[in-house]
Structure 1
Amino acid sequence: MFCISVAARADKYTLDRSQLPQPAQEMIAKYFPKAKIAMIKVDKHLLKRTDYDVKLVNGTKIEFNNAGKWTSVDCKKKEVPQELVIRSIRNYVKNNGNGAYIVKVENSFKGYEIELSDGVELKFSKLGKLNGIDMND
């Protein structure tokens, strides 16, 4: 016989920016200065790790890790603020994107995943080297 113990996750929803770590608050203020918060989900996991999902009134969704560093910015059909994307990736999209622009960026320990306005998905290393292209039909 064995026993499985599961700790309950305690998700909390708020509109209070002060519930976010300071780096997350600063990122929103810098790159989305006029944005209004529609919802903040404070997602507590096991081992005291917490993630933050922020949804803005304009539909943009930003995910932050426990330290308040952004891990994903999805602007839906609008362009992601250029300063959030490293220069080599911005230059690649400018030179090879056929007029498309970045609408979503994910930042992980493996590298960056970029979605363009035309549906093409690009994968880059942390140094901005192209690793793959996925053409969505």
Structure 2
Amino acid sequence: MKMYKKISTALFAVLVTIGFLSCSNDNDDVQPDGETIEVSALPQASRTTLSTYFTDANVTSARRSSSANIYGSIYKALLSNGFEIDFDKDGLWTEIESERNLPIPSSFLEGQVPAIQAYVVANYANNHIIEIEREQFGFTVELNNSVDLVFDREQRFIGVDLDGNDDDDEVRIPLEQLPANARNFLTTSFNGATAITIKREKDDNEISFEVYLDNGIKIQFNEAGDWVEIESKRNVIIPAALIPANIAQYIVQSFPAYVVKEIEKKRNGSFTIEIQHTTSGNDLELEFDANGNFIRVED
């Protein structure tokens, strides 16, 4: 198990409109690759980024699309060192990817996303960033060990994705493409949070969705839009209403110094609850049956 603007009705409508305008299909890349243009036809901001941070490579191809993708990308620059850099209509970078698993220049990271760079250096000293995407409400980075890290707009760490799914089976989607049940759940249960990134995944022909919220909550939904896993990444309290009353009561009585960190609802109706000690930080995993009766503590 692994998950400040309000998702109010009004904001939801705005997000849906933005998602509709920015994504006409499921491809993350500029779609299609678009017409080839001269480097001089790239927006000035794009050319400044290239000349400032990617001085050891040449632009081998520049392209312009007639429609933006989910990141707002319109322009793409392909570099001789294997980097692909996407930009929006104003020339602001939206996605940088290394086709050869080379590290994105530290000068770029330190200049553009210093807090993210500092987090990776401190927590993944033996790895480096090979891809970074500017989401509407934050950032997603991929390390050379295939770990994805999610950050909010202020570059604060949100969560880690260890799924390791093949790219063909995992795509970013706008809020409007979440099942209605999932959208309603977000509005009802997490009305004080904004979705940073939303992914649709396919594994063994099963569809699921993952939503990272800017308050440090990660939620997984099944194909019908019912939540199956909720994880708190920044000590945010999981709403009590989402925990069956008898389970919540058992935890309060038996583990008073612990708070619920994760909750998983299994297909047979049973629950796995991960709790964390408020002082030591130690975790315990508790199993409950479909009726909320305690079964055991997992080793």
**CA separation in 1, counterparts of 2:33 and 2:92?**
21
**Structure 1 residue ranges without an equivalent (≥5):** 1-8
Q: Percent identity?
A: 25
Q: Is 1:51 aligned to 2:74, yes or no?
A: yes
Q: Is 1:99 aligned to 2:126, yes or no?
A: yes
Distance 1:10-1:89 versus aligned 2 partners, 3 A rule: closer
**CA separation in 2, counterparts of 1:131 and 1:53?**
28
- Indicate the residue corresponding to 2:55 in structure 1: 33
Q: Deviations over 1:61-93 (max 9, x none)?
A: 000000000000112311112233322211111
**AA aligned opposite 1:39:** S
**CA separation in 2, counterparts of 1:62 and 1:28?**
9
Distance 1:74-1:95 versus aligned 2 partners, 3 A rule: same
**AA aligned opposite 2:84:** K
- Indicate the residue corresponding to 1:19 in structure 2: 41
Q: Is 1:84 aligned to 2:108, yes or no?
A: yes
> Looking at CA atoms only, which structure, 1 or 2, has the larger radius of gyration?
2
Say how many residue pairs are matched. 126
**CA separation in 1, counterparts of 2:47 and 2:60?**
15
Deviation of residue 98 (structure 1)?
A: 4.2
TM-score of the pair, normalised by structure 2: 0.39
**AA aligned opposite 2:141:** I
- Indicate the residue corresponding to 2:91 in structure 1: 68
**AA aligned opposite 1:84:** F
List structure 1 segments (4+ residues) > 4 angstroms apart after TM superposition. Answer: none
Deviation of residue 52 (structure 1)?
A: 0.3
* Equivalent runs, 1:112-131 vs 2, <5 Å: 112-131=139-158
Distance 1:50-1:59 versus aligned 2 partners, 3 A rule: closer
Deviation of residue 38 (structure 1)?
A: 1.8
**Structure 2 residue ranges without an equivalent (≥5):** 1-31, 165-299
Distance 1:135-1:43 versus aligned 2 partners, 3 A rule: same
Is the CA contact 2:128–2:144 (under 8 Å) kept in the aligned structure 1? yes
Is the CA contact 1:42–1:50 (under 8 Å) kept in the aligned structure 2? no
